[in-house]
């Protein structure tokens, strides 16, 4: 497995992000979907990583992705964390989150926060974040209270 900073130009990445947004819209009303599309992920202040399996076959296979969005010099947000459908349940979300935490620490951030859904469909995600020390918090950055969202943060 290799994790790279991605330029967001490949078809597999575009397809995965489309799948991600479609699923977010299946479980949340439009005004509560805070996932970023491809264009927004290319904006300054966001670093996007893709995770590839380069050992299973002669061609690389996309496994997942994740991003960090800078809020300020001490605080970043986890964005676009996703594992492809065919690789879910294999522990890859753990590896992606570990990578994002490591990169946030290397970048000198003191806090890492995120927004995720409050519905049952997001139970596994919330459990994962809690496992890595994220705690529930008030809305941060430009977010506001939303019954369809929960906010979590971790001091690094």
Task: Dump pLDDT digits (tens) for 79-126.
Answer: 999 998 888 888 899 999 999 999 999 999 999 999 999 999 899 999
Q: Give burial (CB, 10 Å; 0-12/13-18/19+) of 76.
A: buried
Burial 51-71 (b: 16+ CB within 10 A, else e): bbbeeeeeeebbbbbbbbbbb
Q: Give burial (CB, 10 Å; 0-12/13-18/19+) of 23.
A: middle
How much is the pTM?
Answer: 0.92
> How does DSSP classify residue 121?
G
User: What is the extent of the structural domain holding 10?
Assistant: 2-155
d(CA 114, CA 136): 10
Number of domains in the chain: 1
Residue 25 has pLDDT above 60, yes or no: yes
d(CA 99, CA 66): 9
For residue 61, the domain's CATH number is 3.40.630.30
């Amino acid at each position: 497995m290799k994790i790279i900073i991605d330029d967001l130009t490949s078809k597999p990445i575009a397809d995965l992000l489309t799948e991600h947004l479609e699923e977010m819209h299946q479980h949340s009303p439009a005004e509560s979907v805070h996932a970023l599309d491809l264009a927004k992920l290319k904006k300054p202040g966001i670093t996007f990583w893709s995770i590839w399996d380069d050992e299973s076959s002669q061609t690389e296979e996309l496994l997942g992705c994740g991003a960090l969005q800078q809020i300020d010099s001490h605080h970043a947000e986890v964005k676009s964390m996703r594992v492809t459908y065919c690789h879910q349940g294999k522990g890859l979300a753990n590896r992606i989150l570990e990578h994002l935490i490591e990169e946030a620490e290397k970048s000198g951030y003191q806090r890492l926060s995120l927004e995720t859904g409050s519905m049952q469909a997001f139970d596994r995600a919330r459990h994962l974040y809690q496992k890595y020390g994220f705690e529930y918090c008030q809305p941060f950055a430009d977010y506001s209270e939303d019954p369809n969202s929960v906010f979590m943060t971790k001091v690094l």
